[in-house]
Structure 1
Amino acid sequence: MATNQKIFPIIKEILFHMTTPTYLNALRAFEAAARHQSFSAAATELHVTSAAVGQQVRTLEAWLGVTLFHRASSGSTRLVPTDVAREALPDIREGFDRLRAGLERLKEGSLNTGLTVTVSPAFAAKWLLPRIERFQLAHPQTDVLLDTNLRPVDFVVQGVDVGVRYGAGQWPGLTASKLMDEEMYPVCAPGYSLLKKGRLPKGKLAEATLIHDLSMAADPAYPTWRTWLDAAGYVDINADHGLRINNSAAVLQAAIDRQGLALGRSVMVREDLAAGRLIRPFGETTCPLAFAYYVVHRPEVAELAKIKAFRDWLISEADA
Structure 2
Amino acid sequence: MKRKSPVYLNALRAFEASARHGSFSAAAEELNVTAAAVGQMVRGLEDWLGMPLFQRSPSGKTRLTLTANAERALPDIRAGLDRLSIGLERLRESTTSGILNVTVSPAFAAKWLLPRIDRFQARCPETDIRLETSLKLVDYRAHGIDVGVRYGDGNWAGLVAEKLMDEEIFPVCSPGFPDIGNLAEPDDLTRTTLIHDLSVDPAIGFVTWDMWLRAAGVSESQPQRGMRIDNSAAVLQAAIEGRGVALARSILARDDLAAGRLQRLFPGFQVPSKLAYYVVYRAEYASLAKLQAFRNWLIEEAATIRA
How far off its partner does 1:210 sit?
A: 0.7
Which residue of structure 2 lines up, in the alignment, with residue 227 of structure 1? 211
1:314 aligns with 2:298: yes
The DSSP-based 3-state class of the residue aligned with 1:200 is: coil
Which stretch of structure 1 is more off in the superposition, 114-123 or 310-319?
A: 114-123
How is 1:16-31 mapped onto 2 (pairs within 5 angstroms)?
Answer: 17=7, 23-31=8-16
Match of 2:85 among 76, 92, 100: 100
- Quick one: structure 1 residues 291 and 157, their matched pair in 2 at CA, closer, same or farther if it must change by over 3 Å? same
Q: Could you say if the C-alpha distance between residues 174 and 40 of structure 1 is closer, same or farther in structure 2, counting changes exceeding 3 Å?
A: farther
Asked if structure 1 preserves the Cα contact closer than 8 Å seen for 2:168 and 2:249, the reply is: yes
Contact kept in structure 1, 2:168 and 2:270, CA below 8 Å: yes
Partner Cα distance (2:186, 2:95) in 1:
62
Q: Does the CA-based 8 Å contact 1:69-1:80 persist in structure 2?
A: yes
The residue matched to 2:191 in structure 1 has which SS? coil
CA shift for structure 1 position 81 = 5.0
Partners of 2:48 and 2:186 in 1: CA distance: 75
Within 5 Å, which residues of 2 pair with 1:94-173?
94-105=79-90, 113-146=98-131, 161-167=146-152
SS where residue 263 of structure 2 aligns? Answer: coil
Which entry has the higher C-alpha Rg, 1 or 2? 1
Alignment correspondent of 2:255: 271
Task: List per-residue Cα deviations over 1:3-23 (Å, max 9, x = no partner).
Answer: xxx9xx87xx34xx4xxxxx3
Identify the match of residue 79 of structure 1 among 35, 43, 65. 65
CA contact (8 A) 2:105 2:134 kept: yes
Q: Distance in 2 between matches of 1:287 and 1:231?
A: 8
- What TM-score does the superposition give when structure 2 sets the normalisation length? 0.73
User: Cα RMSD between the aligned structures?
Assistant: 4.2
Aligned residue type for 1:262: A
Counterpart in the other structure of 1:206: 190
Residue 188 of structure 1 pairs with residue 176 of structure 2: no
Give the TM-score taking structure 1 as reference length.
Answer: 0.70
Q: Deviations over 1:65-94 (max 9, x none)?
A: 45656699xx98563552x54554444233
Deviates more, 1:222-231 or 1:30-39: 30-39
Structure 2 residue ranges without an equivalent (≥5): none
Percent same amino acid among aligned pairs? 59
Count of aligned pairs: 298
Q: Is the 8 A contact 2:202 2:208 kept in 1?
A: no
